[in-house]
Amino acid sequence: MPQLLTILQKAGEFLHEKGSLSPRLDAEVLLADVLGMQRIELYANYDRPLVKKELDAYRQVIARRGKLEPVAYITGKKEFYSREFSVNSQVLIPRPDTELLVEKVLGYLESFTIPNPDILDLCTGSGAIGITLALEVEGASVTATDISPGALSVARENAEGLAVKVDFIEGDLYANLTKKFDVIVANPPYIASKEWETLEPNVKLYEPQLALVGGEDGLAFYRRIIEESPKYLKDAGAMFLEIGETQAAEVAKIAENVGVFAKAMVAKDLAGKNRVVFLKRQRGN
């Protein structure tokens, strides 16, 4: 019977040939998942033989990864803000970059000490942002919306699994909302439609186009989210938007034209790329 280390090496070489950018890591994550182990436990079990049933299951998942299906869709899970979220092909896989958006909201709520804030997460997908905020902000009431019923059912499952209450509403952005919020947060689709073809195959072939494409110039959702926000954002409320690295100036301009916000502020991610736009509604506007 082949041993774990040999299998890992072979799987890593195969995934490298198939174009994975992290072949050994993928091979390890998938093997740990098949064996029901933590990845770190593999290292203490290099000489463990794999039985036929395990080998067959591993071959199947390696074949899927060989076609560049994202590891998270194969295992059905992805870590976000140190918690495990279920994912499937109905939802965008939450990205580490989006943790910055969550951090900015948390920092704001801490420095402005808003008691029991009402928070709205537009375009919630797997629920990663809204659920994390509901878990991190004491007394928060979180509402999360998405137009995709498939995404909302994943988000509901995640909220249930993490034992937190979030009010999920199906609809087109603000449709079906009747109250105002202290904070609106969104990671909307923001890829320009002409860029779709240029995306990596693991994204283009597997992640939902509905979650990624934001109209011809990628700004369609920012226009609607910002322009319609005065009806849903409380006096002195704040909005946090994840953006593509080249979109800060255009998003700031959209906000300026609406005329109710202070000057837009932009936060960069760890790679130094513009990643979050912060808009503060001015009292009385």
Ligand X SMILES: C[S@@+](CC[C@H](N)C(=O)[O-])C[C@H]1O[C@@H](n2cnc3c(N)ncnc32)[C@H](O)[C@@H]1O
236's torsion region: left (phi>0), alpha (psi -120 to 50) or beta? left
For residues 94 and 125, is the Cβ–Cβ distance under 8 A?
A: yes
Q: In angstroms, what CA-CA distances link 19 with 31, 49, 60?
A: 19, 28, 17
244 binds ligand X (CB under 6 A): no
Stretch that binds ligand X, among 42-50, 120-128, 156-164, 227-235 (CB under 6 A): 120-128
Closest contact distance (angstroms) between CB of 239 and ligand X is 15
129 binds ligand X (CB under 6 A): yes
Run of H or E including 255: helix 248-258
214 binds ligand X (CB under 6 A): no
| Nearer residue to ligand X within complex by CB, 80 or 108 | 80
The whole-angstrom distance between residue 57's C-alpha and the CA centroid of its chain comes to: 28
Tokens of 254: 């959209």
211 binds ligand X (CB under 6 A): yes
Stretch that binds ligand X, among 90-98, 107-115, 134-142, 251-259 (CB under 6 A): 90-98
Residue 25 is which amino acid? L
Q: Which of 4, 146, 183, 184 binds ligand X (CB under 6 A)?
A: 146
Stretch that binds ligand X, among 91-99, 198-206, 248-256, 276-284 (CB under 6 A): 91-99
Closest CA to 28 of 46, 42, 44: 42
147 binds ligand X (CB under 6 A): yes
Site for ligand X in 180-199 (CB under 6 A): 187-189
| Nearer residue to ligand X within complex by CB, 189 or 237 | 189
For residues 144 and 168, is the Cβ–Cβ distance under 8 A?
A: yes
In angstroms, the CA 239 to CA 217 distance is 21
Q: Where along the sequence are the contacts to ligand X (CB under 6 A)?
A: 91-92, 94, 98, 123-126, 128-129, 145-148, 151, 172-173, 187-189, 210-211
